[in-house]
């Protein structure tokens, strides 16, 4: 009796989420401290103290009907203004409040922008490995996800294949840097080459191709790596942001879209995105947390990044010493490790015998690899090392 198009989704469900549930089950049997759950991008690092302090202050001092009431579907004007200012200061842009649309997380924002842009059969290009939900988000609006195959050496986008896959039906390109699942940051060189290709193809086909930059991991970078700000490189850029990772607030569903005036048809896109936010049922981003994040834009998250970095170094160094192969991630909180056996799904099953929960690369359109989400406690990372070692020993003994 459910909709035909939901049947496959229910059957497949999300491998990642299934793993999450499995983790809870194993924890209830073996005790949470004996299960090493690297399956989900659910920060174990607490939100900076300023977040709760600010929330409490707002709840105590501001008018309840204002804090909890309806506002413009795009969000509070003052909140949008503060975010615009903060971006302008950081990236030399010239955004105003009207360029910011507060969203129910980045997932909400991406759905809003696809609803806004896509006609049936429009194509959206992405680069493998990619966040598996892009496929569903595109399908929600009858679009077609076109995947560029991965460069498994560097995990930078394969631009030759990209150029060849752009057609007159290409409405958007979605990229994610720092990348989930690889942790790779797309270099400035990559971004400039990608932009040049897009400009050329726009000219060739007389179309507009929107570049959607999905960047919940923007601030989570290591060793001083710079993440180019896409609107400064390509006019038709739309940014999707989330505070889920930077402020450890994934459950609160708070993020925003940047819709610059430089977009072709900017005014209509801004108006349509506002309507899309409403009619998709988001209505508006959660009101208290709009106000909270607007006052936490300058919170120092270096201590949190340091915690992720400690896990990154520990796992990277040790996994390599056990014989795993992996590039060193420059951002986000994922290691994308070559599966020691060809079948990445089978390898994740093997790992589970050691209470080690990791996700097959197949979920990200990149079989033969597995994702390790190291946004766990340092103890979990440390205690999991013997398990990683044992699985590898089992593989070597095969």
Footprint of its own copies on 139-168 (CB under 8 A): 140-141
The residues in 28-47 that bind its own copies, with binding defined as CB under 8 A, are 40, 42-47
160, 264, 317, 321: which one contacts its own copies (CB under 8 A)?
Answer: 264
Answer left, alpha or beta for residue 26, where phi above 0 means left and psi between -120 and 50 means alpha.
Answer: alpha
Closest among 241, 1, 199 to 102, alpha carbons compared: 241
Sole window of 266-274, 303-311, 314-322, 378-386 interacting with its own copies (rule: CB under 8 A)? 266-274
Binding positions for its own copies, 88-107, rule CB under 8 A: 104-105, 107
- Choices 2-10, 333-341, 380-388, 390-398; region in contact with its own copies by CB under 8 A: 2-10
Backbone torsions φ then ψ of 226, nearest 5 degrees: -95, 135
| Site size toward its own copies, by CB under 8 A | 81
Pick left, alpha or beta for residue 106 (phi over 0 → left; psi -120 to 50 → alpha; otherwise beta).
Answer: alpha
Q: What are phi and psi of 184, to 5 degrees?
A: -75, 145
Cβ proximity of 165 and 124 under 8 Å: no
Least distance in angstroms from the C-beta of 216 to its own copies = 12
Applying CB under 8 A, which of residues 50, 85, 161, 208 lies at the interface with its own copies? 208
- Of the pair 202, 339, the CB lying nearest its own copies is at 202
Distance of closest approach, residue 233 Cβ to its own copies, in angstroms: 20
376 binds its own copies (CB under 8 A): no
What is the nearest approach in angstroms of its own copies to the Cβ of residue 65? Answer: 6
6/397 with CB nearer its own copies? 6
- Minimum distance, C-beta of residue 344 to its own copies, in the bound complex (Å): 22
What's the token pair of residue 263? 């977009």
CB of residue 260 vs its own copies: minimum separation in angstroms? 14
Site for its own copies in 227-256 (CB under 8 A): 248-253
CB of 120 to its own copies, least distance (A): 9
Q: Using the rule CB under 8 A, which residue among 31, 33, 34, 68 binds its own copies?
A: 68
**Site mask, its own copies, residues 333-372, x = CB under 8 A?**
----------------------------------------
């Amino acid at each position: 009796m459910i909709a035909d198009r939901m049947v496959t989704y229910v059957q497949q469900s999300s491998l990642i989420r299934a793993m999450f549930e499995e983790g809870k089950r194993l924890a209830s049997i073996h005790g949470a401290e004996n299960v090493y759950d690297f399956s989900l991008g659910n920060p174990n690092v607490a939100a900076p103290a300023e977040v709760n302090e600010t929330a409490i202050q707002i709840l105590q001092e501001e008018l309840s009907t204002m804090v909890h009431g309806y506002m413009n579907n795009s969000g509070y004007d003052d909140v949008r203004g503060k975010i615009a200012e903060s971006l302008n200061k950081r990236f030399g842009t010239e955004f105003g409040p009207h360029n910011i649309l507060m969203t129910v997380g980045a997932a909400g924002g991406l759905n809003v922008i696809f609803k806004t842009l896509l006609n049936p059969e429009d194509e959206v290009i992405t680069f493998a490995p990619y966040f598996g939900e892009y496929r569903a988000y595109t399908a929600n609006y009858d679009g077609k996800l076109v995947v560029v195959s991965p460069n498994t050496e560097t995990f930078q986008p394969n631009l030759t294949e990209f150029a060849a896959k752009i057609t007159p039906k290409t409405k958007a390109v979605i990229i994610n840097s720092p990348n989930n699942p690889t942790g790779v940051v797309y270099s400035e060189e990559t971004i400039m080459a990608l932009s040049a290709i897009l400009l050329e193809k726009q000219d060739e086909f007389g179309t507009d191709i929107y570049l959607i930059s999905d960047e919940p991991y923007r601030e989570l970078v290591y060793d001083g790596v710079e993440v180019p700000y896409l609107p400064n490189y390509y006019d038709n850029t739309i940014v999707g942001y989330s505070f889920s990772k930077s402020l450890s607030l994934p459950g609160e569903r708070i993020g925003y879209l940047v819709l610059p005036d430089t977009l072709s048809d900017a005014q209509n896109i801004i108006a349509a995105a506002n309507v899309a936010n409403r009619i998709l049922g988001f209505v508006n981003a959660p009101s208290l947390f709009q106000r909270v994040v607007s006052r936490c834009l300058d919170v120092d998250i270096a201590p949190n990044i340091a915690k992720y970095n400690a896990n990154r170094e520990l796992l990277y160094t040790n996994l390599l010493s056990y014989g795993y192969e992996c590039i060193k991630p420059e951002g986000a909180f994922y290691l994308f490790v070559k599966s020691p056996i060809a079948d990445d799904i089978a390898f994740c099953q093997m790992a589970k015998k050691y209470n080690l929960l990791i996700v097959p690369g197949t979920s990200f359109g990149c079989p033969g690899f597995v994702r390790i989400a190291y946004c766990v406690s340092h103890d979990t990372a440390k205690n999991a090392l013997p398990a990683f070692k044992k699985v590898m020993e089992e593989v070597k003994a095969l």
